[in-house]
Amino acid sequence: MRRPAVAGLFYPASAAELSAQVASLLEAARRTCPAGGGPPAAPVKALIAPHAGYVYSGPTAAAGYAALDGDYRQVVLLGPCHRVGTPYLALPGADFLRTPLGDAPVWQAGTAAVEGLPEVIVSPEVHAREHSLEVHLPFIQTVLGPDMPVLALAVGWAKPKTVAAVLEAVWGGPETLVVVSSDLSHYLPYEVARQRDRDTLAQIMALSPELVGEQACGAHPVNGLTELARRRRLRPRLVDYRNSGDTAGDRSAVVGYAAVAYREGLSDAV
């Protein structure tokens, strides 16, 4: 069991309060960006979404999860390491990932597919206090169901091709959703942050796998997804962008957040 580390800090520790907050965030996201225009040519295959406290990044994360429209059977979740560094991608060494909403099962077939790769290690220590993956679980449990299997990988300072190789092993088809956890710029003045994030998002939209940590704390997993998105002809669409100065923070030093959804085989305009 991987137990929650930031319940009561980044999101409510009470199941009732957490469920209500996630539902409220999703409702607001769907009201702001309602579905329309008929069914898409392909469902969302991959998603970038943020991982700060819900009062700050929750609206943007909710916008990303509200955009999901596939019939998913499992989720591959990648996020950066904030507490314990590693040059590898780390598995949690657990069968379940606990949140106040319940125990999300680990995707065992996905674990078997990657745990023998030289780029992957098993490290409960890396996962123990890491929030970048944990804060996504309540959204996954709410939107995709409490029993949705999740393969959680904490990504260290791995190269884009290394991350892409691991992703390739569990890529599957439309039944497998890939979620990459990342915030954007950190602690810049409001307008400076908006410009920095515009430049970063332009790179993401151009499928350029060359982000650095000053642009996104999840640069390594984002670059890995971008590397594979180029090969597989995925096209990104910006679903939502804002920063902590737009939600609950002071505008003198903000953190940027974006939700980006990827579909296969679509034009850049979609």
Residue type, 185: S
Q: Which of 38-47, 49-58, 144-153 has the lowest mean pLDDT?
A: 38-47
Answer yes or no: is pLDDT of 206 > 60: yes
The reported pTM is: 0.95
The answer to whether position 270 is within a domain reads no
**What number of other Cβ atoms are within 10 A of residue 125's Cβ?**
14
Please tell me the predicted confidence (pLDDT) of residue 32. 84
The answer to whether position 4 is within a domain reads no
- pLDDT tens column, 1-34: 999 999 999 999 999 999 999 999 999 999 987 6
The answer to whether position 200 is within a domain reads yes
The DSSP 8-state label assigned to residue 129 in this structure reads: T
Q: What is the count of structural domains for the chain?
A: 1
Please tell me the predicted confidence (pLDDT) of residue 270. 34
CATH number of the domain within which 112 lies: 3.40.830.10
Strands 254-264 and 186-188: antiparallel
Please tell me the predicted confidence (pLDDT) of residue 265. 73
The answer to whether position 130 is within a domain reads yes
The answer to whether position 66 is within a domain reads yes
The DSSP 8-state label assigned to residue 3 in this structure reads: P
Answer yes or no: is pLDDT of 267 > 80: no
Answer yes or no: is pLDDT of 210 > 60: yes
> What is the pLDDT averaged over residues 112-138?
98
Are 97 and 106 spatial neighbours (Cβ–Cβ below 8 Å)? yes
SS3 242: strand
The answer to whether position 176 is within a domain reads yes
Q: Rounded to an integer, what is the distance from CA 161 to the centroid of its chain?
A: 19
Residue type, 154: A
Instruction: Please work out, in degrees rounded to the nearest 5, the angle formed at the alpha carbon of residue 15 by the alpha carbons of 12 and 21.
Output: 55
The answer to whether position 2 is within a domain reads no
Q: Whole-number mean pLDDT of the chain? A: 95
Name the more confident of 41 and 87: 87
Are 187 and 254 spatial neighbours (Cβ–Cβ below 8 Å)? yes
Of 16, 41, 27, 25, which is closest to residue 102 (Cα–Cα)? Answer: 16
Interacting residues of 227 by C-beta distance below 8 A, sequence separation 6+: 160, 161, 163, 164, 209
Q: Which domain holds residue 93?
A: 15-32+40-264
The answer to whether position 228 is within a domain reads yes
What are the tokens at 144? 């995709």
